[in-house]
Amino acid sequence: MATTAIPIDTLPSINPATGEVLAHFERTPASSLPEIVAQARVAQSAWAKLAIRDRCAKLRGLRERIMASRNELADAVVRESGKPRVEALFADIFVALDSAEYWSRNAARALRTRRVPHHSTAAKAKRGYLAYDPLGVMAIISSWNYPLAIPLSQIIPAVAAGNAVVCKTSDFTPQCGALIEKLFIDAGFLGNLVTIVQGGGEVGQALIDAPPDKVLFTGSVATGRRVAEACAKKLIPSVLELGGKDAMIVLADADLEVASSAAVWGSYTNCGQVCLSVERLFVEQAAAEKFMMLCVEKTKKLRIGPGSDPATDVGPLIRPQHVQRMGDLVRDAVSRGAKVLCGGNSRPDLGANFFEPTVIAGVDSSMKLFQEETFGPILAMQIVRDAEEAVARANDSPFALAASVWTSDRRRGEAIAHRLRAGAVMVNDAISYFGIAEAPHGGCGASGWGRTHGKAGLLEMVQMKYIDVDRLPRSEKPWWYRYGADLERAADAFLQFEFSGVIGAKLRNARSAMKTFFRDHGL
């Protein structure tokens, strides 16, 4: 039987649960990126002229399109990422909807022009304020693990701020990328304002070379370094979210039933393919035995299968090489003294991309499980003497994205949160802050730099401009030419008047200080 040849300039959409190729999508030629960015600049010029209230009205229309298409969108996420459908609804669809809802209501207030009060006597005759200008064309290079939530939660504030966006979605999730572009078209946004480009690293490199005005990248540390280098060569600012090695600290006074459920979910949701996954779990010795027993008991009850099955708790990994890596990480840990309490094996009977949810104890910093981002369904645990040791070990990592603390003492939990090196710390919860629109997301060290989400993320999308208006426009300024001994004495008197901590010195120099404001320049 004759077969139809697949053009090499396409990307396959593959279902990781079955290995089935669902469709092929056209790969964007790298050579077309300069023209795509140029077209985005034209669209951005017109878009930025719209009042922000009109841009926000468009976002409300986008929210309505997402809501109306939620089932189609969730199905696409399940087919391409493999996650259970309930996770697609909670994590991808909710975050996309909430981002559109939040910024449609709050972008205008967040970006309104603000007065800058002047405390100095020398600046009292001036009126200062901050304005926020769009940057221009934002390049967003996104990830496959949340193929709607991650790009849309960045695209939405970017366009709210008056920018155009060229977004390279993951080559693992091309259908989700195509659906994002369709959402903006169907919601009536300007043509070329939001453009999705499809392809691998060569398209991302071409997008940076085009060049845009800023780059937002979500992905691995290795790729992030290449993105940072490419941006640096062109002096393009960037925001990098490069993943995490998030610590979960369980104190002996924590509710162990709740904390163990959180550890199991936090380690295995989206099959552990989450930058905010619980990847290093530190439990106080007094609670360790019971806590480990609960984690094992709950892990063994999880149902593994395709995300399309409503009964599935844990879906597949994205590709076979990720399964191989899970096995390598477990073997490395066991060879160094760790103990697998349950799981630890691939499940070829279910498909090429399935790996059992795994609990492994006795892990330490000599093992790859505590050194490298796991990005898979492994709950790795270490027993610590007390909270002090837990904090020290949690901070002993090049990653610093997020963490969590579990205790019945809220004040103690908050105090520990302040000591942890992380971009976000949750007390008695994990991961879910990503779905809070006001909460900034990002880290430092190997986790990258800059922020997305919240006002901090919105300010990454604009150029902050300080504007100063002098209210004595007919007066020459006292610090202008002509210089001389008289001006030196007056300047010193002014410094004593303005900054002396002794009231007598202020009064003695007040009259001389005023000479700096009322003098004949003689020019």
Please report which confidence band the pLDDT of residue 512 belongs to, taking 50, 70 and 90 as the band edges: confident
pLDDT for position 117: 93
Looking at residue 478, its pLDDT comes to: 84
Identify whether the C-beta of residue 239 lies closer than 8 Å to the C-beta of residue 153.
no
Q: CA 242, CA 216: separation in Å to the nearest integer? A: 11
497 confidence band (pLDDT: 50, 70, 90): confident
CATH hierarchy code of domain 32-242+456-465: 3.40.605.10
Q: Tell me what the mean pLDDT of segment 76-100 comes to.
A: 98
Task: Place 515 in a pLDDT band, splitting at 50, 70 and 90.
Answer: low
Alpha helices in 14-124 (DSSP H): 33-48, 52-68, 70-81, 85-87, 94-110
pLDDT over 60 (residue 120) = yes
Please give the single-letter amino acid code of residue 449: W
With CA atoms as reference, report the closest residue to 157 among 87, 210, 96: 96
**192 vs 337: CA distance, rounded Å:** 56
- Cα separation of 26 and 29, whole Å? 9
**Percent of the chain scored above 70 by pLDDT?**
97
Instruction: Please say if the pLDDT value at position 513 is more than 80.
Output: no
Distance (Å, whole) CA 134 – CA 151: 19
3-class secondary structure, 141: strand
- The 10s digit of each residue's pLDDT in 391-445 is 999 999 999 999 999 999 999 999 999 999 999 999 999 999 999 999 999 999 9
Does domain 247-435 bear CATH number 3.90.1530.10? no
Residue percentage of the chain with pLDDT more than 90: 87
Neighbours of 15 (CB within 10 A): 20
Tell me if 177 sits within 8 A of 13, measured CB to CB.
no
User: pTM for this structure?
Assistant: 0.94
Instruction: Place 202 in a pLDDT band, splitting at 50, 70 and 90.
Output: very high
Least confident piece of the model among 62-71, 216-225, 397-406, 469-478: 469-478
240: three-class secondary structure by DSSP: strand
List Cα–Cα distances, 100 to 61, 86, 151, 156, 452, in angstroms: 9, 20, 12, 6, 14
Whose CA is closest to 377, among 272, 284, 448, 491? 272
Q: How confident is the model at residue 2 (pLDDT cuts 50, 70, 90)?
A: very low
Question: How far is CA 496 from its chain centroid?
Answer: 48
pLDDT digits (tens, 9 = 90+) for 430-444: 999 999 999 999 999
Q: Are residues 318 and 353 in contact, defined by beta-carbon separation less than 8 angstroms?
A: yes
pLDDT-derived band of residue 189, with 50, 70 and 90 as boundaries?
very high
Mean pLDDT score of the chain: 95
Q: How far apart are CA 167 and CA 408, in angstroms?
A: 43
pLDDT at residue 180 above 90?
A: yes
Mean pLDDT of the region 212-232: 97
The answer, yes or no, to whether residue 74 has pLDDT greater than 90, is yes
| pLDDT level of residue 121 (50, 70, 90 thresholds) | confident
Closest CA to 354 of 438, 450, 272: 272
Instruction: Please tell me the predicted confidence (pLDDT) of residue 500.
Output: 85
Is the model's pLDDT at 523 over the cut of 80? Answer: no
DSSP state of 430: -
pLDDT band of 518, cuts 50, 70, 90? low
Sign, CA torsion 272/273/276/280: positive
* Band of residue 494 on the pLDDT scale cut at 50, 70, 90: confident
pLDDT at residue number 4: 46
Give the model's pLDDT for residue 356.
98
Domain residue ranges of the chain, discontinuous segments joined by +? 32-242+456-465, 247-435, 476-514
Among 194, 148, 199, 210, residue whose Cα is nearest residue 170: 199
pLDDT at res. 517: 65
521 has pLDDT over 70: no
User: Cβ neighbours of residue 372 under 8 Å, at least 6 residues apart?
Assistant: 245, 329
d(CA 395, CA 370): 12
pLDDT per position as a tens digit, 261-285: 999 999 999 999 999 999 999 999 9
Give the per-residue pLDDT at 3.
45
What is the pLDDT, as a whole number, of residue 1? 42
Q: Which helix (H) or strand (E) holds 284?
A: strand 280-284
Q: Mean pLDDT across the stretch 356-374?
A: 97
Flag whether pLDDT at 157 surpasses 70. yes
Q: CA 504, CA 145: separation in Å to the nearest integer?
A: 67
Provide the token pair at 60.
């409300």
Q: How sure is the predictor about 159, in pLDDT bands with cuts at 50, 70 and 90?
A: very high
Name which residue leads in pLDDT, 196 or 516: 196
Average pLDDT score over residue span 246-260: 98
Q: Is residue 174 scored above 90 in pLDDT?
A: yes
Q: Are 132 and 464 in contact (CB under 8 A)?
A: yes
pLDDT recorded at residue 522: 61
Q: Provide the pLDDT for residue 498.
A: 84
Active site residues: 241, 275
The helix/strand/coil state of 239 is: strand
How far is it, in rounded angstroms, from Cα 265 to Cα 155?
28
pLDDT digits (tens, 9 = 90+) for 49-58: 999 999 999 9
More confident residue, 475 or 435: 435
Residue 361 has pLDDT above 80, yes or no: yes
| Burial of 320 from C-beta contacts in 10 A (0-12 / 13-18 / 19+) | middle
User: Distance between CA 292 and CA 496 in Å, rounded?
Assistant: 66
